[in-house]
Amino acid sequence: MSERLGVAPWTAAVPPPVLLAAGEENPMGSESPMGSENPMGSENPMGRPTDARDRPSLLGRPHPRVEGAAKVTGVALYASDTRLPRLAHAALVTSTIPRGRITGFDLAAAEAVPGCLRIFTHRDFAGAIRPVKHLMAGGHANSGHRPLDSDAVAYAGQIVALVVADTVEAAREAAARALVHYRRDDFADGFDAPGSETVRLADLKPKHHDPRCGDADAALAAAEVTVAARYETPIQHHNPIELFTTTCAWDGPRLTVYEPSRYIGAVRHGLAAQLGLDPADIRVVAGLIGGHFGAKFALAQYTAPVALAARALGRPVSLVPSRRDCFTIANYRPETRHDIRLGATRDGRFTALVHEAEVIASRFDPFAMEGTDVTASLYACPNVRTDERAARVDRNTPGPMRAPPEVPYLFALESAVDEMAHALKLDPIALRRRNDTLTDPISGKPFSSRPLMACFEAGAEAFGWAERDPEPGRMRDGPWRIGLGCAASVRPVKIAPATMRIGLGPDGRATVASAHHEIGNGITTLLALGAAEWLGLLPEAVTVRLGDTDLPAAGLSGGSSTTTSLLHTLAQGCESLRVRLAEAAVAGPLAGADPASLRLESGRLAAPDGRACPLDMLVAGLDPGGIETVAAFTPEGSGPEALEAIESGRMALGTGAGSQAVSWAFGAQFARVQVHAETGEIRVARLLGAFAAGRVLNPLTARSQLTGGMIWGLGSALLEETILDRGHYRNADLAEYLIATAADAPEIEALFVPDPDDTVNPLGLKGLGELGIIGVNAAIANAVFHATGRRIRALPIRVEDML
């Protein structure tokens, strides 16, 4: 866990280590994508100019992740690594029918497996787990459905029994021998299936509005040039290396849950509501998270049954589900389809956009992706009509997966824009430039910054777009047809409230603690750098603790909001500590100085006149045990109710609603593909993205986030698809569910485009966890069209599409 990450305490004798000065080699070997320059300038992110005596800012420079060594040497602990005395092991039995009733169990053979302790079914748990609403509906759960509450089966792969045994092997063996008898009912599993229920999104989600302006249908009828097509994206499933596990241990009335979750507060409070416990009696520990990208979302359905089993057996119980189980006991990206009609003048100005979208939802939860807020506002267009619908079917509830709406919705729009460019015989970047806008056509508000075309220009230059023959099918390299394609990536900025304890010890060390999560994005590193920067310490003098509900409350890791939310919280807390120290100093060693002028730097509190006072002495003078503060940050436009939401494990992720502007992060994606003229094999030879996401605090981890997303985007274009067959996911394993591997990953580059945005929030941060994946699928599909003249409108694009 993060506690072991702190290294030796800072003393003046220790030379400053990992920090890279301009132009220096990165000890990790990867290059700074910024070169040696920080394009955001070197001013202090709290808004004060850097004092000439200050070292270069720690923020804005590449810094290796502080838990990196622990991760690569295997000593880093994840929740799934939890081992406890007398631990019993659980395995799941899941339904083999898509819908119906359980008519009986035949468990004798299972119970006879040596080591099998007990098999729990709805006969044990009916009524024992109280309903909890979906997180998006004001509750805590990733699904309101309760699988072990009755004999009803609502979808294939639903949990119908929980086997507990002395060993993992015995639990799995017994689960395999458990027989469940069913009565089958009719079911609807997808779009157009008889019995599916199509509803307007506004009927499913009360806050939803379909963005509109002008009269799109009339403008479309009058348009000089039109493009109309249907685009489709498939089901995709989360497959993080760390599975969807939980371990529950009771100590009298107190329950500790070790679970990889990206919202441990929701697990704690949701479980308390389900089991009728006081939240104060539940502690959830996540440690480091072995991948989530949208999974591990809120309270899962398996946690309460495992907790109840642990209580019944008087032993801690751990569940490590199979990879196959993870396709149905958690959430996934559902299939979508889009009817897009785009009208333009002959010189390439958009006059009409109609986007009718349909997504899959479950029967019992209000979760549905909504994405036309982005497609309706991306380009200047006076007439826009969008309609979003959801088809409710007999499946487990979908959920967020990295850039949940933008990945499918921008595949559709950015493919249609490419089709329009072809119809108009215009370069696709020139068409986008012609329809660029500084104002959101729907709300009429300005964008807080809008460097979209700067991204296209920087990307085109670095990628060599000028070499592209405008006519499809003409670029060749031996047997390969070559295609170049591009697409936009955009993502609204999100920000959440958070609380955080920041302490300074009499030894001059700092601690930063919050019930947030290290999901692999590098937030531990940024918190260490930020605290060091603002408290005038070396990063090694900072200990960061995350992933434990005993720490001050924070919200979920999602919506690319983590850095934005937590760094503002940290800055606020560090400033309050500085003020306290400054007030103490002017009453003593720095008498006569203006407290506002005192700066924390190099382990001292320094005055502009050159006087300074050692930090450890000041701290010890205030309190021999050290001082601390709990910062409570709320974004602009939200009040105390936002803090109440995170204190009670509910959703509090917003856009900073007080803003007079629309704030997005931007990017331009470029792909070079080669399609074999005879076999149809498709290879992506190169991906390049140019991104503008406000101030970039650690270019090294930021670049890693972006390139990782781009590789997933490649998978989204060419590989990833869950096959649905009569209600079942048929390829629910990593042999048949294809993901992009190292061998698929091409030459890949992520560039940063300066985006100084001082109105989005005080630190100018936009977040970029999701930006890298968005638009890659469209850029690749557009490149395939450019290579072959074939427009593939349903993902993934496969060899057979080329024949």
Q: Binding residues for ligand MOS, per CB under 6 A? A: 294, 400-402, 404, 558-559, 770
What is the token pair recorded at 582?
A: 């400054």
Contact status, residue 686 vs residue 748, Cβ threshold 8 Å = yes
Q: How far apart are CA 646 and CA 498, in angstroms?
A: 7
CB of 769 to ligand MOS, least distance (A): 6
CB of 404 to ligand MOS, least distance (A): 5
Is the link from the previous residue into 796 a cis peptide, with omega within 30 of 0? yes
CB of 541 to ligand MOS, least distance (A): 31
Contact status, residue 645 vs residue 514, Cβ threshold 8 Å = no
| Nearest residue (CB) to ligand MOS, 178 versus 740 | 740
Contact status, residue 255 vs residue 361, Cβ threshold 8 Å = no
CB of 333 to ligand MOS, least distance (A): 9
Q: How far apart are CA 69 and CA 602, in angstroms?
A: 26
Q: Which residues pair with 184 in a beta bridge?
A: 100
DSSP secondary structure of 376-438: TTSS--S-EEEEEEEEEESS------SSTTHHHHHHHHHHHHHHHHHHHT--HHHHHHHT--S
CB of 694 to ligand MOS, least distance (A): 17
| Nearest residue (CB) to ligand MOS, 6 versus 400 | 400
Q: Which residues pair with 399 in a beta bridge?
A: none
CB of 403 to ligand MOS, least distance (A): 7
Greatest Cα pair distance, the chain, in angstroms, is 84
Angstrom CA distances, 280 to 224, 647, 721, stand at 65, 11, 42
Angstrom CA distances, 521 to 353, 510, 801, stand at 36, 22, 36
| Nearest residue (CB) to ligand MOS, 558 versus 764 | 558
CB of 487 to ligand MOS, least distance (A): 19
| Nearest residue (CB) to ligand MOS, 90 versus 357 | 357
Angstrom CA distances, 308 to 60, 89, 164, 204, 668, stand at 48, 13, 11, 32, 50
CB of 145 to ligand MOS, least distance (A): 20
| Nearest residue (CB) to ligand MOS, 402 versus 468 | 402
| Nearest residue (CB) to ligand MOS, 519 versus 627 | 519
Angstrom CA distances, 469 to 14, 475, 783, stand at 57, 7, 12
Alpha-helix runs per DSSP H in 285-362:
303-313
What is the token pair recorded at 508?
A: 């001059």
Q: Which residues of 31-44 are buried (b: 16+ CB within 10 A; e: fewer)?
A: ebbbeeebebebeb
Cβ atoms within 10 Å of 762's Cβ, excluding its own: 15
CB of 238 to ligand MOS, least distance (A): 9
Q: How far apart are CA 367 and CA 361, in angstroms?
A: 6
* Element at 718 (helix H, strand E): helix 699-718
Q: How far apart are CA 423 and CA 472, in angstroms?
A: 12
CB of 218 to ligand MOS, least distance (A): 37
3-class SS string, 95-135:
CCCCCEEEEEEECHHHHCCCCEEEEECHHHHCCCCCCCCEH
What is the token pair recorded at 388?
A: 């979003």
CB of 693 to ligand MOS, least distance (A): 14
Q: How far apart are CA 341 and CA 357, in angstroms?
A: 12
| Nearest residue (CB) to ligand MOS, 38 versus 489 | 489
Is 575 an active-site residue? no
What is the token pair recorded at 492?
A: 């609204």
| Nearest residue (CB) to ligand MOS, 283 versus 766 | 766
Q: How far apart are CA 504 and CA 186, in angstroms?
A: 63
| Nearest residue (CB) to ligand MOS, 504 versus 768 | 768
In the 8-state DSSP scheme, what is residue 309?
Answer: H
What is the token pair recorded at 732?
A: 């629910």
CB-side exposure of 655: number of CA atoms within 13 Å? 14
Order of strands across the sheet with 599-601? Answer: 599-601, 604-606, 612-614
% helix / strand / coil in the chain, to the nearest 5? 25, 25, 50
Residues 630, 635, 640, 646: what is their CA dihedral angle, to the nearest 10 degrees? Answer: -70
Contact status, residue 637 vs residue 658, Cβ threshold 8 Å = yes
From the candidates 67, 259, 770, 800, which is the catalytic residue? 770
State which amino acid sits at residue 32.
Answer: S
What is the token pair recorded at 691?
A: 């991104």
| Nearest residue (CB) to ligand MOS, 506 versus 558 | 558
CB of 342 to ligand MOS, least distance (A): 28
CB of 740 to ligand MOS, least distance (A): 18
3-state secondary structure of 666: strand
| Residue least distant from ligand MOS (Cβ) | 294
| Nearest residue (CB) to ligand MOS, 421 versus 740 | 740
| Nearest residue (CB) to ligand MOS, 91 versus 295 | 295
| Nearest residue (CB) to ligand MOS, 288 versus 615 | 288
The residues annotated with a catalytic role in the active site are: 770
